[in-house]
Amino acid sequence: MEETLSILLVDDDTVDRMAVRRALTKAGVRMELSEVGDCESAIAALKRNSYDCVFLDYRLPDQDGLTLIQKIRRAKIKVPLVVLTSQGDEQIAVELMKAGATDYLSKSRVSSETLAQVLRNAIRVYRAEMQLALADRHIRETNEELIRKNYELEKQQQQIELQNLKLLEASRLKTQFLATMSHELRTPLNAIIGFSQLLLRPKGAELTLQQKDMMQRILNNGKNLLVLLNEVLDFSNLEAGEMHLKPGIFDLSKIVNATVAEMRSLAEAKKLTVLVQNQLQNPMVFNDSVRVRQIITNLLSNAIKFTESGTIWIDIKEVGPNKVALTIGDTGIGIAAEHLNHIFEAFRQVDQSTTRKYPGTGLGLAIIDSLVQMMGGKIIIETQLGHGSMFSIEIPRQISLSNKDENRKKPRLSSQDNENYQYPPQSETSLGYRNQKL
């Protein structure tokens, strides 16, 4: 052994102590050996100093080695204990090991080889036990820490669940409030719009040009406000799950043409060209005509709003045996790639400031997304910032009454940022737009 070991020898027999000392020295053990002759001196020495190993005689003048071992272990003193006994009784050996002895050796077998071997084994076993105890303590501490963290996580989970309930209730109250307020505001607003229209009739009250201009402004602003309120009411119904499709058979081409005709004046006011191409072999579909018209209106309104100059085009065609696609494109401002994942969020607008250039509630695309999902369709977007956007709505030609609110899909978003991307697309199909100017 290269390290210097601190060893305590407990034996009242001088000759026996000398024999142990000589055997260890002969074995080449580097050591600092301390010697005492009774139990009380041994206990005192163990309390004062730290030892690598203790050799103790089984027969001591004040008590036997078994009692000494028990006292040492009760005092929580951790040290390898090797008992030297002049007796070969196996029963005594068993009792010694149960009491906490590391090993035992008959004095008749004491030699440099056996004593050194016993010493090495005792220290190796002791250190292994210490490492095991340390690992066990670490495991217990880790387990206690895990139990504590698990308890904290359970408390946090309970708090989160409680908070979620509060948020759900707040969302329900918000939705109910929006629906109630929208409904209540529509009644007086409809009256304002009705009286404004009545006063503007040729056979109505005689108004000066200035009064007619003011009345027309009242009518226009009333209609704009009604559109905003309708959007809020539709969104509230969608969020509350109270909006349901009312399908029927209708001509999709007529719906598109009628919607474009209604909004033509808005496009002409900005000097925008509106092109329509109808590639449908069979224009009849089974869907909710009111909601389809709402989708077209919102997309056209957005295209007109965000396009300062250029062209807006509408294309309707079959894309499968039971699927039709309606595409609305523009040469407007386009959408930045970082905003694509948020454009269908309710109340979300690229410019959230109160001084934004483009007004609105930020609900139009959210409502479109929800309606298209209810129909079992999808939205495909192609856009380039500064060059325009193209929204393609794909819906079943015949929606399923049983599954119209199920299997909702998220819209697939795509962005094309290469230099050659042009609006409108320069292809044989897009050339047909120019021949159908409205």
Distance, CA of 142 to CA of 150 (rounded, Å) = 12
For the chain, the domain total comes to: 3
Phi and psi based region of residue 49 (left: phi greater than 0; alpha: psi -120 to 50; beta: remaining): beta
Domain match, 188 and 298 both: no
154 domain residue, yes or no: no
Per DSSP, what are the bridge partners of residue 326? 316, 393
Model confidence pLDDT, tens digit, residues 388-437: 999 999 999 998 765 444 444 433 333 343 333 333 443 333 323 322 33
CATH classification of the domain holding 80: 3.40.50.2300
Distance, CA of 37 to CA of 220 (rounded, Å) = 114
Distance, CA of 196 to CA of 211 (rounded, Å) = 11
145 domain residue, yes or no: no
pTM flag (> 0.75)? no
CATH classification of the domain holding 277: 3.30.565.10
Which of 239, 261, 288 is a domain's end point?
Answer: 239
Query: For residue 130, what is the enclosing H or E element?
Result: helix 112-200
Indicate the Cα dihedral angle 134, 136, 137, 140, nearest 10°. 160
Q: Is the peptide bond before 321 cis (omega within 30 degrees of 0)?
A: no
Indicate the Cα dihedral angle 197, 200, 204, 207, nearest 10°. 140
pLDDT at 149: 93
Distance, CA of 399 to CA of 322 (rounded, Å) = 9
For residue 367 the two structure tokens come to: 């409502």
> Which one, of 255, 315, 249, lies nearest residue 287 by Cα?
249
What is the domain extent for residue 265? 248-436
Domain match, 359 and 321 both: yes
Domain match, 383 and 419 both: yes
191 domain residue, yes or no: yes
Domain match, 354 and 401 both: yes
268 domain residue, yes or no: yes
pLDDT by position in tens, the chain (length 438): 468 899 999 999 999 899 999 999 999 889 999 999 999 999 999 999 999 999 998 888 888 888 889 889 888 888 999 998 876 666 777 888 888 888 888 888 888 899 989 998 999 888 888 889 889 989 999 999 999 999 999 999 999 999 998 888 887 777 777 677 767 777 788 888 888 888 888 775 677 888 888 888 888 888 778 777 777 777 777 776 777 888 999 999 999 999 999 888 888 888 999 999 999 889 999 999 988 998 998 899 889 988 999 999 999 999 888 899 999 999 998 888 877 777 777 666 555 444 445 555 667 788 888 889 889 999 999 888 888 999 999 999 998 765 444 444 433 333 343 333 333 443 333 323 322 333
Domain match, 406 and 305 both: yes
Domain match, 172 and 273 both: no
Which of 64, 81, 110 is a domain's end point?
Answer: 110
372 domain residue, yes or no: yes
151 domain residue, yes or no: no
Q: CA triplet 132, 136, 141: central angle to 5 degrees?
A: 150
Q: Is 318 exposed, middle or buried (0-12, 13-18, 19+ CB in 10 A)?
A: middle
Domain match, 298 and 429 both: yes
126 domain residue, yes or no: no
Domain match, 416 and 284 both: yes
Domain match, 283 and 364 both: yes
Domain match, 264 and 206 both: no
144 domain residue, yes or no: no
Domain match, 285 and 392 both: yes
Q: What does the chain come to in residues? A: 438
Model confidence pLDDT, tens digit, residues 232-241: 777 777 776 7
Which of 181, 209, 239 is a domain's end point?
Answer: 239
Domain match, 196 and 277 both: no
pLDDT at 133: 86
pLDDT at 211: 84
